[in-house]
Structure 1
């Protein structure tokens, strides 16, 4: 959690205005950064307000104001609490004298009925001391009243007027009855006592009531003292963090000097202040021991901490409840807009369940009455889903293929392809339906007896064996390496180091950012790479003028280079892993062969796309670049360990064919980093749970679909038909035809989905040629999947749908590079890029990459003997 959020959720609500203004100080830092780097850039309205002053002086003044505010509040609050503590300790001493013991334990009096309400005045005095405490406020001195109960501190001090403190006292009804009780006592003081037993009971009742009030006051003061202690620690952390951010962004060394000179020497942050506060907390523990726990310090500490924990949970739940309520209302509004359309009536919402989740509804009229139904039943996605199901059943019963297993498999293939293409349901859910239909429709056949269909039990074993293969393990190994590199910030260190050497020339900076994005995509996947790169260039974007062409060029460059980076290694993107699984029977290329082919293709493609962006955006025109500073912290032992394991794993993958007698497959090698990183605790089970399992399920479902299409004989039948049409084409002609087809399809649907649907067919066509070249065609096909980057989305859903459901559509693999770019906004909330920017640069970039693949890539593949 960011510290700006942490301070919000850990702060005492009534003291919120007296904490360090962390967010405002951050904004000031960014304003000072902009002032330093563009003092004369822009017009008068957009020019920074603070000029011609040393940033340290300006920031120091702002810190001084915050420090004075915090110190003043602490002094007032400490004085108030110390007075209450001293009053309480005096009352505890009086209570101990009257009970005749220094270590009492609260016990209720025996249950008897009494005939009068005589309560001595000492009970009132003991119970009401805290009820008349005077609280300092900004407007003066004010008496406070409380509305708590006698058995818990959770409701203590909830109604407050003071901005400097909480209201504290005994219940109002007890205060109102004080006069009556005292008068009753005085009136009956001379009356003859009825019996000694009755007086004993009254005495015990008075002591029990007084003890309860003391317990309540002890708990309340303990909680408030602990909150004051947390107030010190939270503000001290705030000063340290905001100074660290200032030093990082402004490249200064202010933190150590300011903390030592001003913060650490201020009264609230002195060691003796903290020690004195701790002593008062210990006094509350001892008082609780004397009144409640019969001298047991361990029990007293545990009880008080339990009260403190309940109090903090109560307050945090209150804050969370308010924020979640706001979020739910916004979510309901967006949901209603998405499902009901632009003309949706926000009043037509269905309240469902205790959590008050709002669901859009729609009324329909029928001959038997009007009904209210969820609006999603009438959404375009639902109508599309119904149409797809109808097509599925038509294909099941309209004879097209000669054999029933091929007929059923054709219906299954069309069903899955349409669901993947339209995303009527999530991609991974579609993948999970594949094994179900494979078994129910009996599409698998005996391997040795191709005319005999497998039974349901044997088909189940076959389809699930196809879902979990070494390819899936390789995918898990890639995710593990990416998670370890990211968690140890190795990827960011390398990226910032390279970018820091790029200088301030716009064209060079653009090329460096594209190169870093491509390499990061190769190592940590082309989904995480753009997020990393966008975070690194954030300081540069902040300091560029509004609407700068450099901003557009660098964001577009990172997105396009990340797509190119998706082809640079077998684990860079899911479609590469899928291609490896498809090529496995004929012998997948080694990592060395893969690099030999894709490195020249990637370098030339990035260089040509860079030229395109330079010519079309002209980023060097009137642009001042803020240099990116590298991370100066030394490389730790943990980072060295992760780096060595990563390089060793990649080295073993490169030599996997030579080590086949030892490891058998690259998937087995992938187990090494998984065991090492999770075994020593570098990665945790939370990291494991955060793996993109939807992509893994998607790939597994695709592999099982390929197995079904192949086993049923459908793939062979379709391949024969296509081969007859292309038999007169040369190998290069077939390569161009399939590359163009895949480029078009992958532009409109997910790259991984395109690979899952088309590459098995391409492999079989290549296998059926007079001179078989299945690996070459599949390799060029998977490269074209990564080259499809003409549109900001890969699929038919429009941008508004994508923007509202970015978290749900995490399966978009490489296309998230482009989507993340188009959704990126400037500080004013305006998107840097529009769809027209992607179409005008993305279409030429896709065509450029295709030309490079079918020329340079084809030559490299021929050299490797594919």
Structure 2
């Protein structure tokens, strides 16, 4: 959680305006950074303009110090006033507690309610507390009252209101009242009834006040710690952004010497907390200090949980309202009743904008609005096509007929994304078993559902899935311990400040990151690295567009650079027999990727022509040294990659690349470098999608449908050479993958391409599969063509809140880049694959 959110989440709501204004300090830092950069621009470009535009140089340190001094003064003043108030309350509480203990000691043993026995809690004897009865985290304990019996007695006997801690002159009870009561009472029994009432009232009142004071003192301590952390983080960000060294001096001279942050101040506060704990032990827990501490911390935890829950709900509510305002959502949409905007379901509020009223012969019926959406009607159309494919006889055997219907149905669901892709994948085994698509590999007899279920589920978990898990593990370790970020910042720091060099350096960093942490995480990392650079550029600068576009396109290209860079590569390995080693993959993919990026770089320079004189802030080099954990992760990663590269030579030992993937899984999770939370955060939707594709491939192959389709396509391309078929398939996949997911395109086409290649007179299925897999990553002509593109189009200018890119930018940059990459694949890529014997 960012500290700006953390301070809002942990702050005492009533004191929210008295905390350090961390967000405002961050804004000031960015303003000063921009002023310094602009000053450097004027100084370096035009000396005469410098004299006219800038009367005096920007002085970021004095400006920031003044802002810090203002915040420090505010915090010191508030802390002093709150500390004085709480100390006064503690002094009064101590006096009242002594009065209570004195009365309990002298008269507590004789005090009795009407027709009752003396209560241990007011005679000084300890009794089981709520924590003892219900456990340390028991939720049945109520800090404002004691047991139900005692509470009932208190309600019957208390005849006048008790004083609260806000009453500076009152005590839990009054000795004078007791003396007069004894003088005027008709009997000694009446006096002890009054004593009992006073003790019950006093104990209940002191209990409340002690808990409230303990919570307030702990909140004051948290206030001090949180603000000190805020000063430290603000100074750290200032030094990092403006390359200064203000933090050590300011912390030593100002912050550490301020009253709220002195060691003796914290010691006095801890002493006050210890006094409150002692008073609670004397009054409530029968001098059991450990039990008193446990109960007070339980009350504190309950208070904080309730308070944070309230604050968190408010924050979420504000975010939702802002999001609704951005999206133009409003009340009283079509179909919603103006007088009944919300309905309640199980205690929650449900927005009726998701509902619609329909007039029927039996009255108005409330229906889900999705029933009238275009997606629902599209789903009905897909189901209708599925039904037609099942009914119209197109193939000789029912297995092939049913498999063709399933193939069409699943492909349409994947292409339209009416339901999530991974959900469609999970539907595949169900359809394959129910429609009895599978046949025995030897006898070609149709399998029964029981045998078919075992076969299809076995096909969903293969060594390729383990390879995918190994890739996720390496990516998680490299990201979690900032190894990828350290590498990227080191390279970008060497790029300097020339726009052309900075652009190509960022593109190659994005490509390299995509090879190891996937082309989903790589653009996110790279965009975070360039944010300081974008922040300092003028609004009219043309450089952000080619920079963001270049990172997105390079991340797409990086998706073909290694076998674990994207799911389509993993699917390609499954459809290539024998699967290429990592060394063979690198031999083909790296030259194609590097040349493609250089050509795309030239295209970006020609189209956007970054403005002359644009001053770019250099990426600052990392100052942190490599730790032992980072070295260990790097060594394990390199060893795993080397084993993947030579997997064919070690088949007699490891069997398959999927077995090698177990090495990082065991070493990283077994040593605690990665945790079960990291494992749960894997892209399991991608794994399920790949598993669904593998099961569909098994069904298409087992039913004999794949051979029939391949034979028909082979007849259409009869007379064409292998290269002609390669060019045609690569072009088809490029077009299709531009409009649908790259992974979905690979799932649909790669099994067909492999079978077509195997059925040709000169069979070379691996070259067709490899080429088509590369083209899946090269489809990047639309914002929806891949995750890097979708991430890029959402990037906004922090100065005006507008997106840097529009769809038109992808059309006149992404489309030419896709076509040029296609030409590189069918020329250079083809030649390299022929060289290594594909």
Whether TM-score is above 0.5 comes out as: yes
Equivalent in the alignment of 1:784: 775
CA RMSD of aligned residues (A): 3.0
What displacement does 1:620 show?
Answer: 4.3
Selected match of 2:400 from 389, 406, 430: 406
Selected match of 1:554 from 514, 536, 547: 547
Matching of residues 81-100 of structure 1 within 5 Å: 81-100=86-105
What displacement does 1:350 show?
Answer: 5.0
CA contact (8 A) 2:342 2:349 kept: no
Q: Deviations over 1:66-120 (max 9, x none)?
A: 1111011111111111111111112212222222279x99x99545499xxxxxx
Q: Partners of 1:67 and 1:175 in 2: how far apart? A: 31
Selected match of 1:750 from 723, 726, 741: 741
The answer on 1:77 being equivalent to 2:82 is yes
The answer on 1:865 being equivalent to 2:834 is no
Q: Deviations over 1:130-168 (max 9, x none)?
A: xxxxxxxxxxxxxxxxxx99539xxxxxxxxxxxxxxxx
Equivalent in the alignment of 2:155: none
Equivalent in the alignment of 2:151: none
Selected match of 1:719 from 710, 717, 729: 710
Matching of residues 695-774 of structure 1 within 5 Å: 695-774=686-765
Equivalent in the alignment of 2:372: 378
Matching of residues 446-485 of structure 1 within 5 Å: 446-450=440-444, 452-485=445-478
Selected match of 1:642 from 621, 633, 642: 633
Q: Partners of 2:312 and 2:465 in 1: how far apart? A: 40
Matching of residues 596-615 of structure 1 within 5 Å: 596-615=587-606
Q: Partners of 1:108 and 1:854 in 2: how far apart? A: 100
Q: 1:697 to 1:548 in 2, by over 3 A?
A: same
Q: Partners of 2:330 and 2:711 in 1: how far apart? A: 45
Selected match of 2:610 from 595, 599, 619: 619
Q: Partners of 2:553 and 2:86 in 1: how far apart? A: 61
Q: 1:53 to 1:746 in 2, by over 3 A?
A: same
Selected match of 1:775 from 752, 766, 790: 766
Matching of residues 250-289 of structure 1 within 5 Å: 250-289=242-281
Secondary structure at the counterpart of residue 351 of structure 2: strand
CA contact (8 A) 1:504 1:627 kept: yes
Q: Partners of 2:468 and 2:653 in 1: how far apart? A: 20
Matching of residues 255-334 of structure 1 within 5 Å: 255-328=247-320
Q: 1:526 to 1:849 in 2, by over 3 A?
A: same
Q: Deviations over 1:455-492 (max 9, x none)?
A: 00110011001100000000000000000000000000
What displacement does 1:207 show?
Answer: 1.3
Equivalent in the alignment of 1:36: 36
The answer on 1:397 being equivalent to 2:397 is no
Q: 1:342 to 1:576 in 2, by over 3 A?
A: farther
The answer on 1:363 being equivalent to 2:357 is yes
Q: 1:336 to 1:30 in 2, by over 3 A?
A: closer
Selected match of 1:573 from 561, 566, 569: 566
What displacement does 1:546 show?
Answer: 1.0
Equivalent in the alignment of 2:788: 817
Secondary structure at the counterpart of residue 145 of structure 2: coil
Q: 1:333 to 1:38 in 2, by over 3 A?
A: closer
What displacement does 1:334 show?
Answer: 8.3
Q: 1:101 to 1:547 in 2, by over 3 A?
A: farther
What displacement does 1:201 show?
Answer: 2.6
Equivalent in the alignment of 1:804: none
Q: Deviations over 1:347-376 (max 9, x none)?
A: 885534222132421122223322111111
Equivalent in the alignment of 2:70: 65
Secondary structure at the counterpart of residue 351 of structure 1: strand
Q: Partners of 2:244 and 2:36 in 1: how far apart? A: 13
Q: Deviations over 1:652-687 (max 9, x none)?
A: 100111111111111010011011111111111111
Secondary structure at the counterpart of residue 373 of structure 1: strand
CA contact (8 A) 1:502 1:512 kept: yes
Gaps of 5+ in 1: 115-147, 153-168, 795-814
Q: Partners of 1:61 and 1:777 in 2: how far apart? A: 67
CA contact (8 A) 2:426 2:688 kept: yes
Q: Partners of 1:679 and 1:48 in 2: how far apart? A: 61
Secondary structure at the counterpart of residue 632 of structure 1: coil
CA contact (8 A) 1:218 1:284 kept: yes
CA contact (8 A) 1:285 1:300 kept: yes
What displacement does 1:14 show?
Answer: 0.7
The answer on 1:418 being equivalent to 2:412 is yes
CA contact (8 A) 1:339 1:375 kept: no
Structure 1-normalised TM-score?
A: 0.87
Q: 1:340 to 1:447 in 2, by over 3 A?
A: farther
Q: Partners of 2:530 and 2:258 in 1: how far apart? A: 37
The answer on 1:442 being equivalent to 2:432 is no
What displacement does 1:173 show?
Answer: 14
Q: Partners of 1:108 and 1:250 in 2: how far apart? A: 72
Equivalent in the alignment of 1:219: 211
CA contact (8 A) 1:333 1:346 kept: no
CA contact (8 A) 2:111 2:195 kept: no
Q: Deviations over 1:265-310 (max 9, x none)?
A: 1111110000010000000011111111111110010011111111
Q: Partners of 2:300 and 2:174 in 1: how far apart? A: 34
Q: 1:99 to 1:498 in 2, by over 3 A?
A: same
Return 369-378 or 27-36, whichever deviates more: 369-378
Return 628-637 or 773-782, whichever deviates more: 628-637
Equivalent in the alignment of 1:138: none
CA contact (8 A) 1:332 1:357 kept: no
Secondary structure at the counterpart of residue 356 of structure 1: strand
What displacement does 1:728 show?
Answer: 0.5
Equivalent in the alignment of 2:557: 564
Equivalent in the alignment of 1:540: 533
CA contact (8 A) 1:596 1:860 kept: yes
Q: What count of residue pairs does the alignment treat as equivalent?
A: 789
CA contact (8 A) 1:348 1:362 kept: no
The answer on 1:855 being equivalent to 2:823 is no
Equivalent in the alignment of 1:526: 519
CA contact (8 A) 2:514 2:522 kept: yes
Q: Partners of 2:741 and 2:497 in 1: how far apart? A: 37
CA contact (8 A) 2:335 2:356 kept: no
Q: Deviations over 1:195-246 (max 9, x none)?
A: x333223212211211221121111111100000000000000111111111
CA contact (8 A) 1:746 1:785 kept: yes
CA contact (8 A) 1:498 1:516 kept: yes
Secondary structure at the counterpart of residue 495 of structure 2: coil
Q: 1:748 to 1:111 in 2, by over 3 A?
A: farther
Q: 1:19 to 1:380 in 2, by over 3 A?
A: same
Secondary structure at the counterpart of residue 525 of structure 1: helix
Q: Partners of 2:473 and 2:592 in 1: how far apart? A: 27
Equivalent in the alignment of 1:809: none
What displacement does 1:383 show?
Answer: 1.0
Q: Partners of 1:646 and 1:11 in 2: how far apart? A: 42
What displacement does 1:53 show?
Answer: 3.0
Q: Partners of 1:608 and 1:346 in 2: how far apart? A: 58
Equivalent in the alignment of 2:817: 845
Q: Deviations over 1:541-565 (max 9, x none)?
A: 0011114211001000000000000
Q: Partners of 2:522 and 2:410 in 1: how far apart? A: 30
